[in-house]
């Protein structure tokens, strides 16, 4: 039972670290776009922006496929 809790903890920690890395990467893209005076949507067209948008759309996709 203890190994199950530990493996779950490691999985949650890995997801949290990945989210932090992608979030920081996206924040760097936002700062670059603001500094270059690019449109507000420019960071969302970068790789971390697309990853974030895909993660936000995933539950909706599951809802639509599940029906």
Please state the rounded mean pLDDT for residues 22-42.
97
Tokens 């948008």 found at: 53
pLDDT given for residue 1 in this prediction: 53
Domain that holds residue 43: 2-66
> Residue 33 and residue 26: Cα distance in Å, rounded?
11
pLDDT given for residue 66 in this prediction: 84
Count of domains for the chain: 1
Three-state secondary structure string covering 17-60: HHHHHHHHHHHHHHHHHHHCCCCCCHHHHCHHHHHHHHHHHHHH
pLDDT given for residue 3 in this prediction: 65
State the pLDDT confidence band at 32, using cuts at 50, 70 and 90: very high
Q: Is 24 exposed, middle or buried (0-12, 13-18, 19+ CB in 10 A)?
A: exposed
- pLDDT per position as a tens digit, 10-30: 999 999 999 999 999 999 999
Work out the mean pLDDT of the chain and round it to a whole number. Answer: 92
């Amino acid at each position: 039972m203890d190994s199950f809790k530990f493996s779950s903890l490691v999985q949650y920690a890995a997801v949290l670290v990945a989210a932090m890395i992608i979030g920081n990467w996206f924040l760097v893209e936002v700062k670059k776009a603001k500094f270059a005076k690019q449109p507000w949507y420019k960071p969302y067209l970068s790789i971390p922006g697309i990853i974030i948008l895909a993660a936000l759309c995933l539950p909706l996709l599951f809802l639509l496929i599940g029906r």
